[in-house]
Amino acid sequence: MDNKTPAVKMRNITKTFGPVVANDKVWLDIYRGEILALLGENGSGKTTLMNMLSGIYFPDEGTISIDGKDVVIRSPKDAFSLGIGMIHQHFKLVDVLTAAENIVLGLEGKLDLKAAAEKIRAICDAYGFEVDPDQKIYDMSVSQKQTVEIVKVLYRGADILILDEPTAVLTPQETDKLFAVLRNMRDDGKAIVIITHKMHEVEALSDRVAILRHGQFIGDMPTKRTNAQEMTNMMVGHAVTLNIERPVPVDPKPRIEVKGLTVRNIEGVVKLDSVSFTANSGEILGIAGISGSGQKELLEAIAGLQPVEAGSIEYIEDDGSREELIGKDPLSIAEMGVTLSFVPEDRLGMGLVGNMDLSDNMMLRSFRKGRSLFTDRRSPKTLAETVVRELEVSTPSVSTPVRRLSGGNVQKVLVGREIAAAPKVLLTAYAVRGLDINSSYTIYDLINRQKAEGVAVIYVGEDLDVLLELADRILVLCGGKVSGIVPGRGAKKRDVGMMMTKLGGNG
């Protein structure tokens, strides 16, 4: 591996977006037969750098060379002809077409699906993928779609592959499968770059790590010679502790009792099937499950946003009196005096208004207050300033539209607003998705503080390692049914993973 010429040499790459310097004279070498983990916090410029390699952006300055030859990558097409392929976080597939049709889509030359299917099978056999070329995309799971994306890139002859947070949507078992495939490709001499925030994945998979911070290249080293703590410190720029606290719940009392909850979506598909559980005050109830197992519907049903077919959701006051939440919309739930905060999965599409500034977004929850025809602009502004200060939101000002903020900062604004309402119940969906380590720990901290104040927290998460460290109890959903509820302390990742894919989890 040593003394080889790099497959990709990026030198002095600079890219600015208006006043924002996304990449500042970045150097990066990518070698064949190696898996490189590209690390950095949100907004550190990882995706921007890779987008320049794959032809989506053009660098303001700097040079890129492939196998020692200087190249200019003006478009994704240029990138493909140089053997560079990127698998994006959001899949770019046509739902109604088959895998094979998607894979050949946009290629020049005669359309021969039979030959294409042959070639796809050959690629699959070589690396251990499981793809049926004739299966339609809409019939596929998230992990199958991702496989199609990877095969698509390989089909076009890519031997330098970039994967942007590929495991964010996968179960532990699917992640293992993906890693096996990536290792096969590495052994076949391909160069692989993976962008991820999950330290244990970096340690398990990569051969070398490269770290960016604030758009600058900090350093690279073999993975074997470093550890999670050192990498994190380099990413953040100072020492951070990597333990998630889990204080023992103080005086937990039932707060939300869900019984026999059944929900169908608009197409009539059962998304939740007689789900029953109790969420206690002062406790974090983690919800685990493959994405799309009914997590969204569960939270939205409690928040009054999802029509319910059967069952009951009761809110239990401190004095033991009960109120039914089903059939009420968010406004009437609030008018009942139930302070229920909800951090939804879709931050900019549901929790916030992207085009409005921080103050106006703070107002979403409170603008009705008072009798005046006009809105009170001062208190939301004060709240925005408080949130910015206390949660260290990096923003030019409180009058910046939130869509301009990076993912982590958007989430801080949303969580900050929801917590400011001093809730009794806090629902969070994928609270740290796409967030870097530093922001993630800020969020865990905030959630733990809510728990300490006696809030009943329902935490839907995708990172099992985090759920196992953070939650007091874990409810595992599988296909809309409760697969089991286990105590967070002492739960095994393997067991929970099994419960996610099979009811009861005995496999």
CB nearer another protein, residue 82 or residue 103: 82
Site string for another protein, 4-43 (x = CB under 8 A): ------------xxxxx-----------------------
- Taking the C-alpha atoms of residue 30 and residue 46, their distance in angstroms, rounded to an integer, is 14
* Helix or strand run (H / E) with residue 348: none
Site for another protein in 453-492 (CB under 8 A): none
Q: Segment contacting another protein (CB under 8 A): 204-212, 354-362, 405-413, 424-432?
A: 354-362
Residue (202 or 362) nearer to another protein, CB = 362
Residue with smaller CB distance to another protein, 16 or 448: 16
Please give the C-alpha separations between residue 35 and each of 45, 62, 162, 163, 216, in angstroms, as whole numbers. 19, 24, 10, 11, 21
Binding mask 71-110 for another protein (x = CB under 8 A): xx-x------------------------------------
- By beta-carbon proximity to another protein, the closer residue of 58 and 138 is 58
CA 366 to chain centre: 29
Residue 378 found at the interface with another protein (CB under 8 A):
no
Residue 470 Cβ, how far from another protein at the closest point, in Å? 25
Pair 242, 445: CB distance under 8 Å: no
Residue 342 binds another protein (CB under 8 A): yes
Give the integer Cα–Cα distance in Å for 68 and 6. 8
Q: Is residue 142 a contact point for another protein (CB under 8 A)?
A: no
Q: Which is nearer to another protein, 201 or 357 (CB)?
A: 357
Distance (Å, whole) CA 43 – CA 22: 7
CB of 168 to another protein, least distance (A): 22
Residue 370: exposure state from Cβ atoms within 10 A (0-12, 13-18, ≥19): exposed
Among 159, 165, 201, 360, binds another protein (CB under 8 A): 360
Choice between 243 and 372, CB closer to another protein: 372
Q: How far is the CB of 430 from another protein (least distance, A)?
A: 16
The residue type of 12 is N
With CA atoms as reference, report the closest residue to 162 among 276, 36, 282. Answer: 36
Of the candidate residues 97, 142, 353, 420, the single one contacting another protein (CB under 8 A): 353
| Interaxial angle between packed helices 142-155 and 172-187, expressed in degrees from 0 to 180 and rounded to the nearest 10 | 10
Of 209, 215, 226, 242, which is closest to residue 39 (Cα–Cα)?
209
| 355 near another protein, rule: CB under 8 A | yes
SS3 label, residue 227: coil
Strand order in the sheet with 283-288: 340-343, 425-429, 456-460, 283-288, 473-478, 481-487
Tell the smallest beta-carbon distance from residue 47 to another protein (Å).
Answer: 16
Number of residues that bind another protein (CB under 8 A): 42
The footprint of another protein on residues 303-332 (CB under 8 A) is 303, 305, 329-332
Task: Verify binding: residue 238, another protein, rule CB under 8 A.
Answer: no
**Burial 382-416, CB ≥16 within 10 A → b, else e:** ebbeebbeebebebeebeebbebbbbbbbbbbbbb
Q: Name which of residues 44 to 63 contact another protein (CB under 8 A).
A: 58, 60, 63
CB nearer to another protein: pick between 248 and 373: 373
Tell me which residues touch another protein (CB under 8 A): 16-20, 58, 60, 63, 69-72, 74, 303, 305, 329-332, 334, 342, 344, 346, 349-356, 360, 363-365, 367-368, 372-375, 377
